[in-house]
């Protein structure tokens, strides 16, 4: 259907699911990442590049093989991306290198959002990390506050929740050699997320607002739609759309938010790529976040409502499958999910390691109560599942 080739920087699970969506449309994909990475495992192309999305030469090799370049991770070498169109003026890069640059440093991202009138938690850069400078922050922000790496953060690795002054030496040791900023604690009642897709001509389409539940700063569950009043859904959707419109780019974006005790919404962070909170879209929406991204960056049709839930009464829960202490122990959860109506299992072809995201499970039903009942069975909390 489309003879263009999409190059993907990064071949993890997000790349793998992008490849799956592209395959269904006969869109060729070429992956840059380590040999046998999850995305390469499901595509038999001989064109893949073994290397790193942070290595300029590897990125140039990838660019030489494709018409459109995209990313599944924002921690890529932006200066190299900026040089590519002078080598090949026909190459398209989505999201734009400027957008990746604004987002990959989380502190610059926050400054950008503030400049564009969006609310975020109060934060400041830490030029000289020391017990003295951070205890001043503790006096000003109160405890807990969060010490955060500006770059290369994921799954909370890069964050340290400072509960009291006595945590400071450990916080500094844990995040040593990283550029840091500090953030005020956001007293949230729920965490929300919205996937937004933006077309090349600037139209935005939003997926439903969802609710994410984290454990140890790693996404554990995602409820779609979020169990919040309609007025908050609407506010979150508009805020996410405005945030995405502030970046010069197109494709899929994930917008993470805090819904505070006082009813206020703050943006936590934005991902310029498919996002864990959008995995439910594969089974619960008309078009998945992965297909939406492929369509957007190739300028393929994006019809009205293509980001809606499949039906008006579709409900879904996504459960992340993390590696357990016992290698492959998590597969028991997956086996229970296979035996559960309305449930789909996605494994990423990654080696099982404790707390590593190795897969996810989508549970879909016309009622959230039923999704929850099925989830409890999958989690091993209820012995029997009557269909
Ligand atoms: P991701 O995997 O989403 O990219 P990350 O490593 O970039 O994660 P954050 O999104 O900054 O990390 O934080 C991870 C989680 O830690 C948040 O989803 C939230 O649960 C908690 N958290 C982060 N910052 C704050 C804050 N200022 N106040 C309260 N909780 C926070
Ligand atoms: Mg992040
Ligand atoms: Mg996050």
Residue entry with tokens 């879209």: 281
Pairing of strands 315-322, 357-365: antiparallel
Specify whether the CB–CB gap between 228 and 190 falls below 8 A: yes
Q: Which ligand has its closest atom nearest to the C-alpha of 122?
A: 1
pLDDT band at residue 384 using 50, 70 and 90 as cut-offs: confident
> Under DSSP, is residue 111 helix (H, G, I), strand (E, B) or coil?
helix
- The C-alpha atoms of residue 372 and residue 239 are separated, in whole angstroms, by 28
Chain segment 291-330, per-residue pLDDT in tens: 999 999 999 999 999 999 999 999 999 999 999 999 999 9
The verdict on pTM exceeding 0.90 is yes
How many A from CA of 158 to the centre of ligand 2?
A: 9
How many A from CA of 63 to the centre of ligand 2?
A: 26
Check residue 387 and give its pLDDT. Answer: 60
Whether ligand 1 lies within 6 angstroms of the CB of 217 is answered as: yes
Closest residue by CA, ligand 1 atom 11:
156
User: How many CB atoms sit inside 10 A of residue 237's CB?
Assistant: 19
Chain segment 359-378, per-residue pLDDT in tens: 999 999 999 999 999 999 99
Query: Best of 122, 156, 214, 271 to mutate for ligand 1, by most ligand atoms within 8 A of CB?
Result: 156
Chain segment 219-265, per-residue pLDDT in tens: 999 999 999 999 999 999 999 999 999 999 999 999 999 999 999 99
Check residue 1 and give its pLDDT. Answer: 64
Query: Best of 143, 146, 193 to mutate for ligand 1, by most ligand atoms within 8 A of CB?
Result: 146
Query: What mean pLDDT do residues 268-275 have?
Result: 98
Residue entry with tokens 């699970």: 13
- The C-alpha atoms of residue 342 and residue 115 are separated, in whole angstroms, by 44
Element (H, E) at 215: strand 210-215
Burial class (CB in 10 A: 0-12, 13-18, 19+), 143: middle
Chain segment 142-191, per-residue pLDDT in tens: 999 999 999 999 999 999 999 999 999 999 999 999 999 999 999 999 99
How many A from CA of 90 to the centre of ligand 2?
A: 31
| CB contact set of 311 (below 8 Å; sequence gap of 6+) | 366
- The C-alpha atoms of residue 382 and residue 375 are separated, in whole angstroms, by 9
| CB contact set of 312 (below 8 Å; sequence gap of 6+) | none
Atom of ligand 1 nearest to the CA of 158: 6
Whether ligand 1 lies within 6 angstroms of the CB of 153 is answered as: yes
Check residue 386 and give its pLDDT. Answer: 66
- Token output for 165: 């002054």
pLDDT band at residue 385 using 50, 70 and 90 as cut-offs: confident
Closest residue by CA, ligand 1 atom 27:
185
Atom of ligand 1 nearest to the CA of 186: 28
Enumerate the β-bridge partners of residue 204.
198
| CB contact set of 134 (below 8 Å; sequence gap of 6+) | 126, 147, 162, 168, 171, 172, 182
- The C-alpha atoms of residue 210 and residue 224 are separated, in whole angstroms, by 5
Closest residue by CA, ligand 1 atom 18:
217
Query: Best of 184, 268, 360 to mutate for ligand 1, by most ligand atoms within 8 A of CB?
Result: 268
Chain segment 78-118, per-residue pLDDT in tens: 999 999 988 889 999 999 999 999 999 999 999 999 999 99
> Under DSSP, is residue 238 helix (H, G, I), strand (E, B) or coil?
helix
């Amino acid at each position: 259907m489309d003879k263009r080739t999409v190059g993907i920087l990064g071949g993890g699970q997000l790349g793998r699911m992008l490849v799956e969506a592209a395959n269904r449309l006969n869109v060729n994909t070429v992956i840059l990442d380590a040999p046998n990475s999850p995305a390469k495992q499901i595509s038999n192309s001989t064109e893949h590049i073994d290397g790193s999305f942070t290595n300029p030469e590897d990125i140039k090799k990838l660019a030489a093989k494709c018409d459109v370049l995209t990313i599944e991770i924002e921690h890529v070498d932006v200066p190299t991306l900026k040089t590519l169109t002078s080598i090949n003026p026909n190459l398209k890069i989505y999201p734009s290198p400027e957008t990746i640059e604004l987002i990959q440093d989380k502190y610059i991202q926050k400054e950008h959002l503030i400049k564009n009138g969006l609310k975020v938690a109060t934060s400041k850069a830490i030029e000289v990390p020391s017990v003295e400078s951070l205890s001043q922050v503790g006096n000003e922000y109160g405890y807990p506050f969060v010490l955060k790496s500006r770059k290369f953060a994921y799954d909370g690795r890069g964050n340290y929740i400072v509960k009291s002054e006595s945590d400071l030496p450990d916080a500094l040791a844990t995040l040593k050699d990283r550029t840091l900023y500090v953030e005020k604690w956001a007293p949230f009642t729920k965490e929300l997320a919205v996937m937004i897709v933006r077309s090349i001509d600037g139209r935005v389409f939003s997926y439903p607002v969802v609710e994410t539940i984290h454990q140890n700063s790693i996404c554990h569950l995602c409820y779609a739609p979020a169990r919040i009043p309609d007025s908050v859904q609407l506010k979150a959707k508009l805020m996410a759309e405005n945030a995405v419109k502030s970046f010069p780019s197109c494709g899929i974006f994930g917008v993470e938010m805090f819904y505070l005790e006082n009813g206020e919404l703050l943006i936590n962070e934005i991902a310029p790529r498919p996002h864990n909170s959008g995995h439910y879209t594969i089974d619960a929406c008309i078009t998945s976040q992965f297909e939406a991204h492929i369509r957007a960056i190739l300028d393929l049709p994006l019809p009205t409502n293509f980001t809606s839930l499949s039906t008006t009464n579709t409900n879904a829960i996504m459960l992340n499958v993390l590696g357990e202490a016992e290698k492959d122990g998590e597969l028991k959860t997956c086996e229970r999910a296979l035996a559960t109506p309305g449930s789909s299992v996605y494994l990423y072809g990654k080696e099982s390691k404790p707390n590593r995201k190795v897969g996810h499970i989508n549970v879909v039903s016309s009622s959230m109560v039923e999704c929850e009942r099925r989830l409890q069975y999958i989690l091993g909390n209820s012995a029997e599942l009557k269909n």
